[in-house]
Amino acid sequence: MPDTTAPAPLAPGFAGAETAVLAPTYPLPRLQLAEGRGARVRDVTGREYVDFVSGIAVNAFGHAPEGLAEVVAAQLRTLGHVSNIFASAPGVALAEALTRASGYPRVFFCNSGTEGIDAALKFARARAGARGLPGRDILAFHGGFHGRTGFALSATWNPPYRAPFEPLIPGVRFAPYNDLPALEQAVDADICAIVVEAVQGEAGAVCATREFLHAVRDRATAVGAALVLDEVQTGMGRTGHLLAQEHFGVRADLTVMSKALGAGLPIGAVLMTEEVAACLAPGMHGCTFGGNPVCSAAALWALAKVTAPGFLERVRRAAATLGEGLDAIAAKHPSVRETRGLGLLRAIDLATDALFGPADLLGAARERGLLLVRGGERAVRLLPPLTVTNHDIHDALAALDDALATLESTHPLQGKDVT
């Protein structure tokens, strides 16, 4: 278990520098990290942490994975960037590899998950027009998070994220997640697309039910709408399969991937059916950096790792170990209402009567050498690299257990024995 001394202070002068020059879109100053290897990372003072943030589910192979730097450097020495006017071998090779691995026959490349969602929703509206469908509305769900750009934000539920930028793109409606009667009522002929996450990551690893996702697929088909599955956080093996939809036996018309796809380099992909691709035409959409040779080379390296024999089975074993450990912690601590998630996308949800919140738990965990990230109103997410070891999991669980015990002792639940 990492040492339990208090967090090291920020590097001298760094706090003021960051606050002075960066736009205040994040709480500043922040912990300054300097280097990492696998699931371990060090700050500028040399203090080590177990990193269960993983760049918010980006660092699927941990920090400084062996071989990635060489692949990226080799590509930079050959061909760095060509724009979308020209083709390059890495971009085409990545498209071929993704279509083989996913079963979707076509792909569009962009830079990020939010760009991928924007593209997918645009493609869905273009499809509706090409097919002569009457409506252009989009159905999204309570708790859903799809990104910060205009269209993606319009389909994101969290009111505080939306409010400063309204009015947003019109024609987006919301329904409760995992609610079959509400879904039935919300879908009509005016819907051209339904966008949904199989596991709502930002909401705190909230899983769809199999029945709900199948009903979403069936309702989309019934009205001729496109089903858009947001696999930005769940894709690339995080749930133990390449795509989370494989757990549920559901296929989309468009699936969006990003985050771990580039193993730390920015790239997004919109996978689609031939039927959707047939509705698109040159000039309808584009991305200057989409399919960039360097990012594509990194993604090819990452995809080869994830699809290698035995890799996903190992992820599933690690997920079982983590899940069992979290369940044991939940049974021990009255401040934990439940644990949830799928694969290595997990969360603990704090009880509503706990007298401390997620921010307190993040701080207490960090004091014990564990980095976590929030999710939802009362939840904290655990997003280890897919290569996480049992030793890493043990240390993370020990730190989390101790953090909860300390918070419960200093913030006792009224009427409950926490001894």
CATH code for position 88: 3.40.640.10
Q: Do residue 234 and residue 135 come from a single domain?
A: yes
300 with 316, same domain?
no
Say whether both 190 and 296 belong to one domain: yes
Is residue 30 one of the residues assigned to a domain?
yes
User: Which pLDDT belongs to residue 107?
Assistant: 98
Task: Give 18's Cβ-side CA count (13 Å radius).
Answer: 14
Asked if residue 69 lies in contact with residue 419, where contact means CB atoms within 8 angstroms, the answer is: no
d(CA 260, CA 400): 25
Question: Residues 150, 221: one domain?
Answer: yes
CATH number where 37 lies: 3.90.1150.10
pLDDT score, position 413: 60
Inter-residue contact 285 to 119 (CB < 8 Å) = yes
Among residues 306, 334, 358, the one where a domain terminates is 306
CB-CB contact of 153 with 182 (8 Å): no
* Predicted local distance difference test score (pLDDT) of residue 27: 86
Question: In this structure, how many other beta carbons lie within 10 angstroms of the beta carbon of residue 21?
Answer: 8
Domain boundary among 269, 287, 306: 306
Is residue 385 reached through a cis peptide bond, with omega within 30 degrees of 0 on the bond before it? no
For residue 213, give Cα distances in angstroms to 68, 104, 183, 347.
Answer: 36, 19, 10, 21
Q: How many residues does the chain have?
A: 419
CA distance 21 to 131: 49
Alpha carbons within 13 A on the beta-carbon side of 281: 5
Are residue 327 and residue 279 in the same domain, yes or no? no
Q: Are 75 and 214 contained in the same domain?
A: yes
Residues 301 and 327 in one domain: no
Q: What is the pTM of this model?
A: 0.93
Cis peptide before 29 (omega within 30 of 0): yes
Given CA atoms 153, 159, 160, 163 in this order, what sign does their dihedral have?
Answer: positive
* Residue range of the domain that includes 395: 14-65+310-410
Same domain for 270 and 284?
yes
Same domain, yes or no, for 145 and 270? yes
Whether residue 317 sits in one domain with residue 221: no
- Answer yes or no: are the C-beta atoms of 148 and 116 closer than 8 Å: no
∠ at Cα 386 (250, 392), nearest 5°? Answer: 140
Residues 148 and 120 grouped into a single domain: yes
What tens digit of pLDDT does each residue of 318-333 get? 999 999 999 999 999 9
Q: Which of 282, 183, 265, 197 is nearest to 234 (CA)?
A: 197
pLDDT of residue 15: 57
Could you read off the pLDDT of 26-37 as tens digits, one per residue?
888 889 999 999
How many folded domains does the chain comprise? 2
Distance separating alpha carbons of residues 397 and 331, to the nearest angstrom: 13
Helix (H, G, I), strand (E, B) or coil at 361: helix
Give the model's pLDDT for residue 419.
35
Q: Show which of 238, 273, 306 is a domain's final residue.
A: 306
Low-confidence ranges of the chain (pLDDT < 50): 1-5, 11, 415-419
Find the DSSP H helices in 13-88.
14-21, 54-57, 68-78
Q: Does residue 378 share a domain with residue 328?
A: yes
What is the Cα 416 distance to its own chain's centre? 36
The Cα 374–Cα 356 span in angstroms is 14
Assigned domain for 419 exists: no
